[in-house]
Amino acid sequence: MTAQPADHDRGASAPSGPRRRIAVVGTGIAGMSAAWLLSKAHDVTVFERGDYIGGHSNTVEAPGPNGQPIAVDTGFIVYNTVNYPNLVALFEHLGVPTHESDMSFAASLDSGRLEYAGTGLGGLLAQPGNALRPRFWSMIRDLMRFYREAPAFLEDPRARRVTLGEYLTAHGYGQAFVEDHLLPMGAAIWSTPVADMRAYPAAAFIQFFVNHGLLKLRDRPAWRTVTGGSREYVKRLTASYVDRIHLNAKITRIRRVQGGVMLEDLRGETHVFDDVVLACHADEALSLLSDADDRERTVLEGFTYTRNRAILHSDPSLMPKARRAWSSWNFIGTRDAQGRDQVCVTYWMNRLQGLDDKAPLFVTLNPPREPADGTVIRGFLYDHPLYDRAALAAQEQVWRLQGRRRTWFCGAYMGAGFHEDGLQAGLAVAEALGGVRRPWTVPNESGRIRLGEALAGADADEADPRLRRGDRGARGDEAAA
């Protein structure tokens, strides 16, 4: 499929109400998708505090082997066709080119004293000495037991009240499996410090592994990446309203006024709209609301974030020492000054994006030391949501804030923190606020963001009725992350 001109989005359904002036704050996937759909029927203005459009969809150029620039992604990189139904539909609708990727995982622990990869026997024995380590085989035995037994835990009525750490202790999983495999893998997936993974809700963790085929050895979902980098979809998604996106336009304060919402920017200028969509992190949204009420504060304070430093570089010393262990995702065990396990992951971009391996390229989150002189290309800071009991409770409650005081919220924090979650949130908000409809139908279209679950438990006056009208298919598999 090839890209269509800017008016190719005419497939979106017509609005059911008057044309409105709507502000969208943030240009991550949630903000871009909300603005894209809303702009088909309303006057949308987008404010982005940074100097580029896309949030975690951040493609930069690195020097190639022949002096030609190579497009490299540094945030959003891959998706699969099973767990990202709306993203697949969006890419098809916009004609975004994609190709197959590879999602292999490796761990390098204790300064490289233990290294292995999940790529068959050769990867497991990337260090031949692994075969002689009782701790290593203890890890493998518990791993296979976890694959067999974990799904049954989802049927336990108490499951949603149990943390991952509590589950692992109660079921007698050994230190080798927990510390050498499961927590590092979870930390790599969610870009979260290892210690914080113990507080992750066990049911949500296991459900994610089930849905992504991570509890089986075969028939896992096939992963794909955008050809030319994620900037290719960003350009197509924003083409029809790019002239209404303001970069380097930091909003500093939002106040709800009679008949509208007032936004104040860094220069002190004010802008009044009928509605505002806060497509930024939950903590940022709260900091912007100068007149936040108790309900908004209680819900939004339930979400917390961790900041990760990402470095695009060409230094192979931040990969596993054993070349046979090199994988697409490589967890590198590190500790902070207090001895706490941190998250450090090196993404092998040549493998993930199918780039020419004559010019090795890596993205490392939170490197324990700086890459070698002359190998650093760019550096970035990305914030990722932390998930614990408070966050899951807030996920349900946030939908009951939607539309109150002409204010709407959307972001990947409403689901598991991934691209499909942000997209589902942006589309759901746009449909409810704008009376428009996405130009495709997929099963369980809002299942990852718990919309149906939230509305099912809400009193009649707690949730905006426009959300209920848009609740198509959201009550299916609530945890289809």
**Could you tell me if 128 and 248 lie in one domain?**
no
Q: Which of 326, 342, 374 is the endpoint of a domain?
A: 374
In our burial notation (b when 16+ CB lie closer than 10 A, e otherwise), range 218-250 reads eeebebbbbebbbbbbbbbbbbbbeeebbeebe
Token code pair at residue 272: 């009044």
Domain residue limits at 287: 6-55+228-302+388-469
Residue 216's Cα: distance from chain center in Å?
23
Q: For residue 208, is it left (φ>0), alpha (ψ between -120 and 50) or beta?
A: alpha
**Could you tell me if 419 and 332 lie in one domain?**
no
Alpha-carbon span 37 to 48, nearest angstrom: 18
Query: To the nearest whole number, what is the mean pLDDT of the chain?
Result: 91
Q: Contact, 35 vs 61, CB < 8 A?
A: no
**Could you tell me if 109 and 210 lie in one domain?**
yes
Q: How far from 469 is each of 94, 286, 381, 430, CA to CA, in Å? A: 26, 27, 38, 12
pLDDT in tens, 213-238: 999 877 788 999 999 999 999 999 99
Token code pair at residue 435: 């009376």
pLDDT in tens, 434-473: 999 999 999 999 999 977 665 655 555 566 666 655 554 4
| Alpha-carbon dihedral sign for residues 254, 52, 232, 219 | negative
In this structure, is residue 166 part of a structural domain?
Answer: yes
Q: Where are the alpha helices (DSSP H) in 388-476?
A: 389-398, 419-434, 451-456, 465-469
Q: Contact, 402 vs 408, CB < 8 A?
A: yes
**Could you tell me if 207 and 257 lie in one domain?**
no
**Could you tell me if 175 and 112 lie in one domain?**
yes
**Could you tell me if 292 and 410 lie in one domain?**
yes
In this structure, is residue 477 part of a structural domain?
Answer: no
In this structure, is residue 410 part of a structural domain?
Answer: yes
**Could you tell me if 363 and 443 lie in one domain?**
no
**Could you tell me if 238 and 218 lie in one domain?**
no
| Main-chain dihedrals φ then ψ at residue 65, nearest 5 degrees | -65, -25
Helices 231-238 & 29-38 angle (0-180, nearest 10): 30
In this structure, is residue 420 part of a structural domain?
Answer: yes
In this structure, is residue 109 part of a structural domain?
Answer: yes
In this structure, is residue 87 part of a structural domain?
Answer: no
pLDDT in tens, 149-205: 999 999 999 898 999 999 999 999 999 999 999 999 999 999 999 989 999 999 999
CATH of the domain at 298: 3.50.50.60
In this structure, is residue 97 part of a structural domain?
Answer: no
**Could you tell me if 134 and 35 lie in one domain?**
no
Split into its structural domains, the chain has a count of: 2
In this structure, is residue 77 part of a structural domain?
Answer: no
Q: Contact, 43 vs 22, CB < 8 A?
A: yes
**Could you tell me if 109 and 257 lie in one domain?**
no
**Could you tell me if 283 and 370 lie in one domain?**
no
Q: Contact, 320 vs 124, CB < 8 A?
A: no
In our burial notation (b when 16+ CB lie closer than 10 A, e otherwise), range 93-128 reads bbebebeebbbbbbbbbeeeebbbbbbeeebbbbbe
DSSP 303-322: -EEEEEEEEEE--GGGS-SS
pTM of the model: 0.91
**Could you tell me if 272 and 152 lie in one domain?**
no
pLDDT of residue 8: 45
Q: Which of 374, 400, 419 is the endpoint of a domain?
A: 374
Q: Which residues of the chain have pLDDT under 50?
A: 1-8, 10, 472-481
pLDDT of residue 437: 97
Residue with tokens 């704050």: 25
